[in-house]
Structure 1
Amino acid sequence: MERFKNKVALITGSSQGIGAACAIRLAEEGADLIIHGREMDEDVKQLMEQIRHWGRKVEFIPADLNLSGSAEKLVSDAVAVFGKLDILINNAGMEIRADFIDVTEADYDMVMNVNLKSVFFGIQAYVKYCRSIGSPGVIVNMSSVHEEIVFPHFAAYCVSKGGLKMLTRNLASELAPFHIRVNNVAPGAIATPINEKLLSDKEQLQKVLQNIPLKKMGKPEDVAALVAFLASDEAGYITGSTHYVDGGLTYHYEEQ
């Protein structure tokens, strides 16, 4: 099935983990890809080889989304690569662990810049492009279960994802007249490099699994499957929503 035949997608933060899984899934289903990361490395090279294995075109654009104006330039550069951009997937994100009283302004700004500000202005640049050519558009934002549930010692991260939740709801209404859809995907505990420390701590891992009804970590491919659906025409009547990939974690609670 090639749901994305003749489509071009930009996936931010796609050198590894969930972003890479999304790139592979969309390539399998026909999309040409713009891969993004801070710099070209072996992970990127291997990912691009996989995408070419499916007979798709792929290019890499480096950008530091902590820097002002970088998201807008990334979108502009992506359009220039293949001459169009059909799908924008805002996957890039970061977290910094710290007690609330110890959070520095620099760390706060970095988390907000990458997780929220770059998404805001990246979407703005994409919408301007879509409107300039009279084209519909599709946006999928990578949120987190922590747009909904607390995460002590990660206050800035939670604020950024809570903001993303409201941004998506607001833009769904504002952009609907232009036939531009926007949704969030909210992963729970997923086995990715960002959770490497958790995965190596068996005791802490068991505590996490006890709060997940399915009693297992998710895989990047689980998230990519939902992203692909929301980016496809099959989800043409879905906008302004957050869709959880969490094994039942978000609304589950058991007395231990």
Structure 2
Amino acid sequence: MDPLQRAALLQTVLDCPDSQVRLTGLSALELYGLPIGEPDERIDELLGHAPPPKGPEYAKMLFTPHFSWVGERLRTPVPDVVVTKSFGLDRYPGPWGTWLADPIEALVVAASFLPRWRVTACLDALMSRNIVAVDGGSFPPYSRKLIEKRLRRFPPTSVATRRTLTALSDAVENTWSPRETLTRLIVLAHGFPPPVMNFHVVVDHADRNLDLAWPESRVAVEYNGADHVDRRKQRLEDNGWKVRFVVLEDLLDPHRRKLWLTWLATELANATHGSESTPTLKTA
């Protein structure tokens, strides 16, 4: 039995009508399919983010079931679990008959363990795609307004609430993967104008979505680890786009990162014909 299955089983055992027990924190986010991940000092430094205050505890908490309750206080003799009071948001059905805290509540609970960019990636996902529940229903994408409304249920001065609100200021709708989130945040950290995420174009009578696009300049960056990018790149360039494909190593390796960021600065500068608004690559 893996840790998530154990957590789900414990929730069904501990649940009772008077307490409305639900899984929360990292376990709930993982069961929702949201893009959590361990802290990485390189990425925090690259983005200019402070490390998560409880980052060293991430691995432990990933394997520690965290439950919250509403109503009658939950007391349990079960070892190696965390139990806290819920902030009163709804709970939703999860796998194996379990119940999960609302995604926003689970994210606030987990925010002190996660890198800031990962919190943003989770918010990007919530605002950009449906989350399908086990019972066949689904959440529509959460609007920024709804997220802000739910965050008002939490103590405004708590570290976790502030971290989530800060991450929300970086979040953007129509972002479809955590790698797109990271690529966008790197671009912004180096002084470029905000891209349009998954910009829709029609190329050779086929619909395409460009991961990060600057439509007025017809410049785009695509995160893609596939081997078949050459033909797609050629078709886009035949239609007037300048496109750079990047993979994870291009994001993390300083030399490779400088190459594509320099390319981006050059192409945006060429598109603006040397105007005063020409972007300039920031260097550390």
Q: What TM bracket, shorter-length normalisation?
A: 0.3 to 0.5
Higher RCO, 1 vs 2 (CA within 8 Å, ≥6 residues apart): 1
**What TM-score, normalized to structure 1?**
0.34
